[in-house]
Amino acid sequence: MTPNANTRIVSVRRLNKEGPGDRSLAEWWATERENKTPEAAAIEEAAQLLRTSDIPVAFPTETVYGLGADATRSDAVQGIYKAKQRPSDNPLIIHVDSLAMLERILNPVQESPTRATKTAKNGIPSIYDSLISRFWPGPLTILLPNPSGSPLAKEVTSKLTTFGARMPSSPLARLLIHVADRPLAAPSANASTKPSPTAAEHVFHDLEGRIELILDGGSCGVGVESTVVDGLSTPPAILRPGGIGIEEIRECPGWENVQVGYRDGTLDVKEIPRAPGMKYRHYSPKARVVLFEAGSNEQSVSKHIRKDLEDSAVGAHMVGIVRTRNWKRGLGLLPDDEIQKTLKDIPSLVDELVGFSVPVSNKANGCVAAKETFDCFLGTDVKSIAQGLFSALRAMDDMEVDVIYVEGIPDQQGDLAAAVMNRLRKAAGADLRV
């Protein structure tokens, strides 16, 4: 894919791969700038755009690609909503490069936070000390009281008295924030409601012509967004499952009784979301998604899909199957030897994507037609499933399938599985157990 003149993809993969080593961000940046590397030029350009432009910049984090803007300028933050076509009542997470940057936000004039809560001298509620010590930098967002005289643009909080903040573990993301010297509001860099981007090509597909620059750092390691926690409530709560599991959080002092504060459906229209990703349908490809809960009988699933293919009212001419732990390739729609005869490898960002044809009798007219079927295997471990989920949904859209059938995984483990199933339930038009 060749980007046009309006939206450029610039590789900074070397920086993302090498990292700073034992150096500080300042020392790392000084070396890159002194050596006048192409990556340094790209970072400097991106930082300059973030400081001065109202058009956001896309950059990689360890979770997904973010769409960044200066969190202290209203016009810049509005640029995020415009590029994503995102509802303005959906709050944004800010990203910082250090605790010092976060402390400057929390102490604009050395005033106390607006919420009455036990607070450390740096303005960060002490309930978060154990989480920050263990998980930062990393895929964890904490909910903080927005202080009087806050430097954050009002569009960041969406009329809430709190804001979400995280320090990404991606050294490239922190370097960009450091060079820009601004906290960055940065939701996922996709069109609103679409699957989150885990590669630069995903960002380009959604936002071509809407932004100027995409920093390409390669594929994201986690694959789903950060976990969002609220330590200002009693008991503390997880508002969005993500890269950090609930059992890990419960091991931290003060968080032993943390509760699940989200549900996998969307909020009612008049409800105010406490955190990003709570109110609206998200992560949805163009195709209809049918999620089969873990434990569904494979033979019954196969019958359900074949019925959809035969039913003219459904109108599924091409279907996609996303497998995880138990389903076998093709789900019995064709015998294995027949699949082998028609198997086609499909060029895709997803390694395990293949296609084959299934002959289907149409109940309405009795004719037999070949229905194209695309099969994607994500692996059996939760990490692989999380990393490949959004890419798989996008790959099926590239094939222009009508329906995507997804094999769910048990979400009671309290880790990435809960995040995976949360995203799938928000994407699905139907959630079945057969």
SS3 content of the chain, % helix, strand, coil (to 5): 30, 20, 45
Sign of CA dihedral 392, 394, 398, 400: positive
Q: Is 35 annotated as a binding residue?
A: no
* Tokens 């620059």 belong to residue: 213
Q: Is 405 annotated as a binding residue?
A: no
* Tokens 């091409």 belong to residue: 318
Distance CA 39, CA 17 (A): 12
Q: Is 47 annotated as a binding residue?
A: no
Q: Is 186 annotated as a binding residue?
A: yes
* Tokens 């019954």 belong to residue: 300
What are the strands of the beta sheet with 353-361, ordered from one edge? 344-345, 353-361, 368-377, 318-323, 403-407, 288-292, 430-432
**Beta pairing class for 227-230 and 237-240:** antiparallel
Q: Is 166 annotated as a binding residue?
A: yes
Q: Is 384 annotated as a binding residue?
A: no
Q: Is 90 annotated as a binding residue?
A: yes
Q: Is 72 annotated as a binding residue?
A: no
Distance CA 35, CA 18 (A): 15
Whether the Cβ atoms of residue 9 and residue 197 lie closer than 8 Å to each other: no
**Phi-psi region at 410: left, alpha or beta (left = phi > 0; alpha = psi -120 to 50):** beta
Q: Is 297 annotated as a binding residue?
A: no
Q: Is 46 annotated as a binding residue?
A: no
Q: What are phi and psi of 315, to 5 degrees?
A: 70, 30
The DSSP result for 367-417, as a single string, is -EEEEEEEEEE--SSHHHHHHHHHHHHHHHHHTT-SEEEEE----TTSSHH
Q: Is 188 annotated as a binding residue?
A: yes
CA distances from 68 to 123, 158, 333 (A): 24, 17, 44
Q: Is 23 annotated as a binding residue?
A: no
Whether the Cβ atoms of residue 265 and residue 425 lie closer than 8 Å to each other: yes
Whether the Cβ atoms of residue 264 and residue 421 lie closer than 8 Å to each other: yes
Strands (E), 128-234: 140-145, 162-166, 184-185, 213-216, 227-230
Structure tokens at 313: 């009212």
**Residue 63 DSSP code:** S
Q: Which residues are annotated as a binding site for L-threonine?
A: 95, 166, 186, 226
Q: Which residues belong to the annotated binding site for ATP?
A: 63, 86, 90, 162, 188, 196, 240, 283
* Residues of each annotated binding site: 63, 86, 90, 95, 162, 166, 186, 188, 196, 226, 240, 283
